[in-house]
Amino acid sequence: MGNIKTLQQAIIHFSEFENCKTLMVQLRWTDGVVKCPHCGSEKVTYLAKNRVWKCYTGHPKPKFSLKTGTIFEDSPLPLEKWLPALWLVVNCKNGISSCELARGLGVTQKTAWFMAHRLRFALTEGGFGLLSGEVEADETFIGGKARNMHKSKREAKITGTGGKDKAMAFGMLERGGKVRTIGSSRSSKENRSTRNQRTRCRRCSIVHRCHARLSRPGWRLCARSH
């Protein structure tokens, strides 16, 4: 992207899928050899009509795209939007707001806010990949013990048992790699699903948990009890 000097040039350049493909291949596979993100095999063939690759090692997910296994994977936005956004985030020395990003790309402010957060997170982590391989996941509930509270506070704050009315801290650890953590003031199933989306783990990963309540299609869950 070094030869792109303005936002107009970035939008025109990345409006061509082949330019997006060239950049993504350079970012993902620095040696120029495309590998399956699920098994790492080089026995792949590019299907130009569908803009995907097909792996021939015989696993359940043989087809993958440029977005598979990256922060772009579950986003409906095309790379023609993501890559100009990346150019803006990288080249604005004083930072860029979601409103300015929305005006430049022609998307809503909420969409621009989501894109900016994902891109900054990826730049902080030093890559666009997700957790993969063997991943350990667990959560804990943080809050005062009912027996240590005054009766009036206990009646006001404690309305249930277990993790109810307590804050949840959730984390995922890639063995020998990165860590993802997030906290929530509520422990409902809906919030747990939201944390699952934010602490993204690649499909076809082995996830070790104390129980198998948290899941995602493509994960292989290994439930453990303590």
Q: Do residues 55 and 139 both lie within one domain?
A: no
Q: Do residues 20 and 121 both lie within one domain?
A: yes
Domain boundary among 69, 101, 125: 125
Domain boundary among 125, 149, 165: 125
The count of structural domains within the chain is: 2
More confident residue, 201 or 119: 119
Q: Do residues 120 and 144 both lie within one domain?
A: no
184 contacts 171 by C-beta, under 8 angstroms: no
Name all contacts of 176-184 with Cβ < 8 Å and 24+ positions apart: 176/133, 177/131, 177/133, 178/125, 178/131, 180/131
Asked, for residue 2, whether it belongs to a domain, the answer is no
- Letter for the amino acid at 51? R
* 22-36 pLDDT tens trace: 999 988 888 889 988
Asked, for residue 20, whether it belongs to a domain, the answer is yes
Residue with tokens 């997006």: 20
DSSP 2-34: TT--SHHHHHHHHTSHHHHHHHHHHHH-TTS--
Helix%, strand%, coil% for the chain, nearest 5: 35, 20, 45
* 117-162 pLDDT tens trace: 989 888 876 655 566 667 777 778 777 676 677 777 776 767 666 5
Whether 178 shows a pLDDT value over 60: the answer reads: yes
Asked, for residue 1, whether it belongs to a domain, the answer is no
130 contacts 118 by C-beta, under 8 angstroms: no
Residues of the chain with pLDDT > 90, as a percent, come to 32
Confidence category of residue 82, pLDDT binned at 50, 70, 90: very high
How far apart are the C-alpha atoms of 7 and 109, rounded to whole Å? 18
Closest CA to 223 of 213, 203, 208: 208
Q: Do residues 77 and 151 both lie within one domain?
A: no
Q: Do residues 143 and 119 both lie within one domain?
A: no
Q: Are strands 52-55 and 44-47 parallel, antiparallel or unpaired?
A: antiparallel
Domain boundary among 125, 147, 171: 125
Whether 193 shows a pLDDT value over 50: the answer reads: no
Q: Do residues 73 and 167 both lie within one domain?
A: no
> Residue 20 is part of which domain span?
7-125
The 10 Å CB-count burial string (b at 16+, else e) for 98-119 is beebbebbebeeebbbebbebb
DSSP 50: T
Q: For residue 124, count other CB atoms closer than 10 A to its CB.
A: 8
Three-class secondary structure of residue 31 per DSSP = coil
